[in-house]
């Protein structure tokens, strides 16, 4: 959904306005500056437009306690993804220096700004109170009252002129799955086995191009879209030789997928081509389940599976976070379990972790292993972290100087997030941002 950021000084009534727009009266209203406060997204609509509103915490400029840059950072993050901002000012308090500073700063952004003059309960006085805010140079001030709801209609009418219509169908919760792997690893056999496991087969559906045919299947109340199944069924082109395995087709499927079923032939192990595919899956940030197929053809004792697991994981380091399952597509062994792993991976891929929890992990991690110190004796400092997006989960860490955090420490931090928060089956991204 398009995002609308709500900005303004503390206590001007931002949270109240968010509640008004999102139409939930029972939500807790709070409005105070805070460091690790989450940006909460609430959905709203007006006429034919759907959007999310995000409250950004109080902006204060004329107070220079050390947290203020961090609050500003939060607002910046929200604005970077927003299609419009509502700048809330207090009509009763009148124009303040803080408002001026915020306005100056908002004028430098490319985001359209709607000026909401809140606490204008009386219509006549409201117009007078609002007129003062023309001075901010942000266009027409809209007098309104978040408590009474008066004036919000005009505000929203103006707002939605800046919100794009969503002309695609609403996002369904189907899980898009790409089955990729070298020729002869058993992709089409696996496809047939997977489809055979499902209750309802919703006939093949054509995808974006004429020859990309997806298959929709249902299992445990979930819909899975198996991507480009025509490409999997089609027999290989002999004339291209063994090197050709439709890698472009595989790359395209990976890009469209939420979860990649990465099929490997246990008899061949992990080849160079497999490593290329693994690298691409990680690069594209897709969730992944490694399906080690033809397990029936392996002679085994009770240790075999662990031995294989270890060797394969080592060679598949690009996707070493992926769950691995040993299957036989021809006799159906563990095929039903594949769906469960896909579901879990998709959930983890979409997961959002609260800022509070992320900061607990950081705090613990620092206690065990403090950040490196530079040659000049300055220590790396992590101020706080926050998840800025999902699919894949992406965490921004705000630090004093990102260069002080070497590869070792970065890897340590990532492993801490994984250990504490799981994220099995999905890559995660950690961005290190320096702040002056
Ligand atoms: P694709 O090219 O990846 O689609 O592979 P196919 O599904 O066409 O399978 C290639 C060959 O491997 C065929 O001869 C299959 O019968 C065989 N095969 C596929 N899955 C298995 C399996 O689980 N066990 C064994 N033993 N053979 C398999």
Taking only the tens place, the pLDDT of each residue in 246-277 is 777 888 899 899 999 999 999 999 999 999 99
Average pLDDT, the chain: 83
Task: Record the tokens describing residue 137, joined without a space.
Answer: 């140079």
Q: Once rounded to an integer, what is the mean pLDDT over residues 274-294?
A: 95
Using DSSP, state whether 346 is helix, strand or coil: helix
Nearest CA to ligand 1 atom 17: 186
Rounded Cα distance between 32 and 428, Å, is 31
**Cα angle for residues 435, 40, 103 (degrees, 5° grid):** 60
**Is 97:81 a contact under the CB 8 Å cutoff?**
no
The number of the ligand 1 atom at minimal distance from the alpha carbon of 329 is: 23
Smallest Cα–Cα separation from 211: which of 241, 233, 181?
Answer: 233
**Is 260:287 a contact under the CB 8 Å cutoff?**
yes
The number of the ligand 1 atom at minimal distance from the alpha carbon of 263 is: 3
Point out the least confidently predicted range of 102-106, 228-232, 265-269, 276-280.
228-232
Q: Once rounded to an integer, what is the mean pLDDT over residues 169-198?
A: 84
Q: For ligand 1, pick from 181, 182, 188, 189 the residue to mutate: most ligand atoms within 8 Å of CB.
A: 189
Choose between 245 and 299: higher pLDDT: 299
pLDDT over 90, % of the chain: 42
**Is 393:386 a contact under the CB 8 Å cutoff?**
no
Q: Ligand 1 site: residues with CB under 6 angstroms?
A: 181, 183-189, 232, 293-294, 296-297, 328-330
The whole-model pTM stands at 0.63
pLDDT over 70, % of the chain: 83
Q: Tens digits of per-residue pLDDT, 137-152?
A: 999 999 999 988 888 8
């Amino acid at each position: 959904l398009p995002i609308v950021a709500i900005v303004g000084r503390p206590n001007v009534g931002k949270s109240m306005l968010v509640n008004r727009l999102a139409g939930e009266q029972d939500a807790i209203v709070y409005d105070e500056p805070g460091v690790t406060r989450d940006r909460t997204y609430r959905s709203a609509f007006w006429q034919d437009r759907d959007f999310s509103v995000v409250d950004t915490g109080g902006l204060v400029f004329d107070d220079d306690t050390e947290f203020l840059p961090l609050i500003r950072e939060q607002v910046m993050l929200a604005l970077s993804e927003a299609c419009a901002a509502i700048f809330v000012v207090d009509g009763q308090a009148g124009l303040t220096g803080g408002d001026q500073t915020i306005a100056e700063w908002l004028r430098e952004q490319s985001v359209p700004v709607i000026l909401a003059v809140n606490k204008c309960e009386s219509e006549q006085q409201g117009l007078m109170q609002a007129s003062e805010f023309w001075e901010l140079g942000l266009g027409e001030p809209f007098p309104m009252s978040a408590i009474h709801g008066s004036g919000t209609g005009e505000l929203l009418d103006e707002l939605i002129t800046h919100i794009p219509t969503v002309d695609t169908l609403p996002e369904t919760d189907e899980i898009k799955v790409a089955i990729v792997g070298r020729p002869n690893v058993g992709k089409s056999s696996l496809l047939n086995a997977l489809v055979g496991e499902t209750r309802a087969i919703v006939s093949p559906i054509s995808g974006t191009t004429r020859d990309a045919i997806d298959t929709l299947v249902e299992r445990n109340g979930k819909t899975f879209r198996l991507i480009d199944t025509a490409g999997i069924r089609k027999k290989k082109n002999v004339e291209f030789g063994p090197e050709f395995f439709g890698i472009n087709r595989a790359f395209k499927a990976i890009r469209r997928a939420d979860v990649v079923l990465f099929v490997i032939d246990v008899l061949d192990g992990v080849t160079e081509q497999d490593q290329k595919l693994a690298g691409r899956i990680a690069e594209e940030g897709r969730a992944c389940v490694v399906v080690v197929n033809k397990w029936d053809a392996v002679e085994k004792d009770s240790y075999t599976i662990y031995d294989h697991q270890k060797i394969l994981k080592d060679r598949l380091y690009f996707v070493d976070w992926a769950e691995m399952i040993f299957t036989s597509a021809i006799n159906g062994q563990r095929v039903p379990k594949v769906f469960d792993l896909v579901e879990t991976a998709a959930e983890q891929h979409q997961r959002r972790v609260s800022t509070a929890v992320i900061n607990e992990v950081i705090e613990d991690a620092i206690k065990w292993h403090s950040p490196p110190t530079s040659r000049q004796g300055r220590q790396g400092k992590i101020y706080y972290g926050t998840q800025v997006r999902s699919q894949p989960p992406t965490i921004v860490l705000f630090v004093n100087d990102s260069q002080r955090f070497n590869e070792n420490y970065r890897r340590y931090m990532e492993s801490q997030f994984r250990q504490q928060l799981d994220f099995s089956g999905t890559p995660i991204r950690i961005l290190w941002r320096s702040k002056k």
